[in-house]
A and B are shown apart, each in its own frame.
Chain A
Amino acid sequence: MATATHLLTEKEATAHPAGEAVVVRFAGDSGDGMQLTGGQFTLSTALAGNDLSTFPDFPAEIRAPQGTTFGVSAFQINFGSTSIDTAGDQPDVLIAMNPAALNVNAPQVREGGLIIADEGEFTQRNLAKAGYERNPLEDGSLAKWQLVHFNISQLTLDAVKPFGLGNKEALRCKNMWTLGLALWMFDRDRQPIVDWLKQKFAKAPELAEANIAALNAGHAYGETVEMGAPFKQHHLAPAPAEPGLYRTVTGAESLALGLVAGCELAGLNMFFGSYPITPASPLLHHLARLKEFGITTFQAEDEIAAVCAAIGASYAGHLGVTSSSGPGIALKTEAIGLAIMTELPLVVVNSQRGGPSTGLPTKTEQSDLYQAIYGRNADAPVPVLAARSPADAFECAIEACRIATRYMTPVILLTDGYIANAAEPWRVPDMSRYEPFKVSFLNAAPEGGAAMPYSRNGDLARPWIRPGTAGLEHRIGGIEKAPGTGNIDYSPAVHQEMTNTRWAKVAGVAKSIPDQEICLGQEGAELAVVGWGSTFGPIHQAVGRALARGLDVAHVHVRHLWPMPSNMARLLKSFKHILVPEMNMGQFKTVLRDQFLVDAKSLTKVSGHPFRIAEIEAAIDGAIAGGSNARAEGRPMNAPGLKQ
């Protein structure tokens, strides 16, 4: 396997033409409130009409020891007046709240980019904790970037002095001071943040006032201090977009909304059984607040109970949904087999993270594809879908509900830690344009006959009979059963027939899904870059750039991973080369090879971070030049000396 080591190119260094898009990275200690700062900056960016994509990057430790490199929490946002698909390869601006944040993040900043540092935190002790022997603000080691530093800590303390807070509390306003400065830099309205602070600290008005004072002070600082060239105000025009109402949405939010919508379209109440796990828990938190939509949320004693309760609820006529991440899905596996065997609808959401085992709980990966498609004992097929972006998770959740109820089957919906936490603008959908797929329960036995719980319709789905329905009393279970009656029967011919039927039913899902589309480029192109899930953004940008350079490339992004759309074989065989970038060691590549006997090649990356556009672009060039499997080296983003 050849290795395509990514080195910074001229092209990449100028990836963002001035005025079109900017990548800003806020970095500080876990306790510095960087995620909050980033979230509010995202909101103001969205309100300014820029397109955007974010990448929250935080450690697994809730509060790692202060000032250490492993306790650094960062939030990256890419925004601009053009279409934005990724959180950006390289920050143009880094705001570093302490030496550790600088040490971890500076190497990624574009050469010539701007670094803003809080010099108040660059004490001997903090420098030592961050691994600096000398103060980098003074020793010239940051010369390839434009550096500005001032004492944000002291400036914040001065700003909030009138409110009489303790030193510790006062310093916690630092992030708002920083946000104020960032708002000035990009010419943003402060009012939405002020409103938000007033609401957040409604019970402690003095804290609201102190934070607002810090915000205003940061803004005023930018306006009044004459720092010189690098430090100037930028204005990015709104990005052209489809007209309509917009909001920002994270993957976890849109997934929750999509599940609510899916249940509404199916005419069912939702039962959501879950057990806390990173990064899947936000879905439980969102749904727990939506009782008025007929949702029951159940925090179970473990992953197994969560899925089993969801299966029980489906049996009783709700739509059972369960959610977890890879390790939790592994625990649910036996129960998913039960749902396959008893042919009950169930939606299983996997917010993938780095693994195996506990792995990288807060980092993203796509390495549960085999688990989703193949990872059960026996012949146990289930439909598998993958969301490509936070907004797309909404549509995928609806689709998962549709398939689960129409085919009486569990459905696995793959998302990942990146999608779950990242935010992007979302055009609010018009719900009246979604076709309902109302579920009908079987309410009476056929004329003169007994209940036939394992009879089949044209989709090979069995009827859904709720306990409580008189005259249709029957027993189901995990033991092999006779067609029609569902009575225990494990004679050889019956097991063969039932296995065939379960297989054919899931394969038949392909009949009700749309043909695979090409996102960019043409059928029959020299190279197709085939992706799934959250690699959409970097692949799309990379293929777009390659097309602009005149290369014959296409981007195919697959939502229905199992079964795949009916035209997949024909489509894939039309391309001369196939490149599959994925954040695993080549799982989808193997599935494509197995299913379609095509010579798909891999571009793999498992560093816990999403692909960079340039990594994929380089692989495109390599593939067209006759490359083989490649590995985007997944160089740790905090490794010093990015450009050598």
Chain B
Amino acid sequence: MNDITTLTTAKDWASDQEVRWCPGCGDYAVLKAVQRTMPDLGIAREKTVFISGIGCSSRFPYYMASYGFHTIHGRAPAIATGVKLANPELDVWIITGDGDALSIGGNHTMHVLRRNLDCQILLFNNEIYGLTKGQYSPTSRVGTRSPSTPFGSVDRPVTPCAFALGSGGRFIARGIDVHKNLPDVLKAAHAHRGASFVEIYQNCVVYNDDVFASFTERTVAAEKQLWLKAGEKMLFANGTKGLALDTDRLALKVVAADDPAVLTHDPSNRQLAAMLILMPQEGFPIALGVIYEDPAPTFESSVAEQNKAAASGKQPDLQALVSKGQTWMIAAEPKRL
């Protein structure tokens, strides 16, 4: 029997199952990043549960050597809520995609965030339905041509992190499947007590290849990626540019790095987080890393606390319970009046 408590390697977290994603899929990179990160978290395999819905990314739990539950479309947050309420000691990871979390499961995503269940939600956003062969998704940009939208999609996409922030999420981060910073983002998500929402830009080589190239391509990465760090200046473009507040318009603006107005990242600032999440693509970098973090009591701890308080001083006496209320005795010989 394996007795792995805290000291593990990435290999210990890989299951014996053959990975069945398309060659070149971004999911491989995320899987590796997670497997590489787990040993650094100091948690035991048996205490870890990966819970997923349906979609390409949702096959993820099968490849982890922890406990895993591949559930039904969109419902992973609901299943995870039951798991965590039943056993708050478990380390719960939700693996989901843009269709799973924001279309069919949008309701559950909203509620797991507002309740603040202690879990990590890794949303693999590839802006497409992969497993069902390439239909547009709720994050697909207007005009996306797909088998179901041969003339281009007409509905505007949702911004996952804005949805999460609006739902009351208290940890919101972004990463990129192949980026070296992803493990750090995962570690921060794990360190946060409460629902940690991580959007991972994941490239679908088959149905939506290079959809994020405008900021992931090596040639543009420096100019288009702003990696946020708490307490540090919001600088990008190899430290030549920064973000400052345009106080007249209550919006962000790009300024030179030496501008004294360059903002310092305060992850607990919800207004700033909203602006960072919703920065326009044109003329701005994309905000990555931990965008927002402001911890609050977790759902399962509040439930456990209330259960404990409500139960205190009461004996779980089943016989007394069934005998409660106004009762009457019928003697062996019912008396006749």
The answer to whether residues A247 and B325 also contact, given A261-B318, A338-B72 and a CB cut-off of 8 A, is yes
Within 8 A of B (CB), among A110-124: none
Contact A301 B86 (CB under 8 A): no
B169: min CB distance to chain A, Å = 15
Contact A309 B82 (CB under 8 A): yes
Contact B326 A475 (CB under 8 A): no
A504 contacts the other chain (Cβ, under 8 Å)? Answer: no
Stretch of B58-66, B156-164, B212-220, B253-261 that contacts chain A: B58-66
A372: min CB distance to chain B, Å = 20
Separation of A315 and B327 alpha carbons in the complex (Å): 39
Separation of A83 and B302 alpha carbons in the complex (Å): 49
A633 contacts the other chain (Cβ, under 8 Å)? Answer: no
B79: min CB distance to chain A, Å = 4
Among A289, A315, A473, the residue within 8 A (CB) of B82 is: A315
Stretch of B42-50, B122-130, B136-144, B221-229 that contacts chain A: B42-50
Contact A271 B67 (CB under 8 A): no
Contact B330 A241 (CB under 8 A): yes
A444: min CB distance to chain B, Å = 7
List 28 contacting pairs A-B, 8 Å CB cutoff, sorted by A.
A46-B328, A49-B334, A192-B326, A238-B337, A240-B334, A241-B330, A241-B334, A242-B330, A289-B310, A291-B306, A291-B314, A296-B307, A302-B107, A309-B78, A309-B85, A311-B71, A312-B51, A315-B69, A315-B79, A315-B86, A334-B72, A428-B327, A444-B1, A445-B1, A468-B87, A475-B61, A475-B64, A477-B71
Q: Which residues of A contact B111 (CB under 8 A)?
A: 300-301, 305
Q: Which residues of A contact B337 (CB under 8 A)?
A: 235, 237-238
Separation of A396 and B331 alpha carbons in the complex (Å): 27
Separation of A313 and B84 alpha carbons in the complex (Å): 8
A80 contacts the other chain (Cβ, under 8 Å)? Answer: no
Number of interface residues of B (CB under 8 A): 69
Among B45, B46, B330, the residue within 8 A (CB) of A49 is: B330
Specify the chain B residue showing the minimal Cβ separation from A316.
Answer: B86
A492 contacts the other chain (Cβ, under 8 Å)? Answer: no
Specify the chain A residue showing the minimal Cβ separation from B2.
Answer: A471
Separation of A248 and B326 alpha carbons in the complex (Å): 8
Among B61, B322, B335, the residue within 8 A (CB) of A429 is: B322
A264 contacts the other chain (Cβ, under 8 Å)? Answer: yes
Among B46, B70, B81, B326, the residue within 8 A (CB) of A468 is: B46
Separation of A335 and B330 alpha carbons in the complex (Å): 46
B7 contacts the other chain (Cβ, under 8 Å)? Answer: no
A488 contacts the other chain (Cβ, under 8 Å)? Answer: yes
A317 contacts the other chain (Cβ, under 8 Å)? Answer: yes
Specify the chain A residue showing the minimal Cβ separation from B82.
Answer: A312
Among B75, B318, B331, B336, the residue within 8 A (CB) of A264 is: B318
A215: min CB distance to chain B, Å = 17
Contact A470 B46 (CB under 8 A): yes
Specify the chain B residue showing the minimal Cβ separation from A243.
Answer: B332
A478 contacts the other chain (Cβ, under 8 Å)? Answer: yes
Specify the chain A residue showing the minimal Cβ separation from B4.
Answer: A470
Separation of A467 and B78 alpha carbons in the complex (Å): 17
Contact A308 B79 (CB under 8 A): yes
Contact A243 B75 (CB under 8 A): no
Residue interface bits B7-39, CB-to-A below 8 A is 1, else 0: 000000001010000000000000000000000
Among B64, B316, B326, B329, the residue within 8 A (CB) of A293 is: B316
Among B69, B86, B108, B326, the residue within 8 A (CB) of A317 is: B86
Within 8 A of B (CB), among A22-46: 43, 46
The answer to whether residues A246 and B17 also contact, given A260-B321, A292-B315, A470-B46 and a CB cut-off of 8 A, is no
Contact A290 B79 (CB under 8 A): no
Specify the chain B residue showing the minimal Cβ separation from A301.
Answer: B111
A266: min CB distance to chain B, Å = 13
Q: Which residues of B contact A241 (CB under 8 A)?
A: 330, 334
Contact B316 A243 (CB under 8 A): no
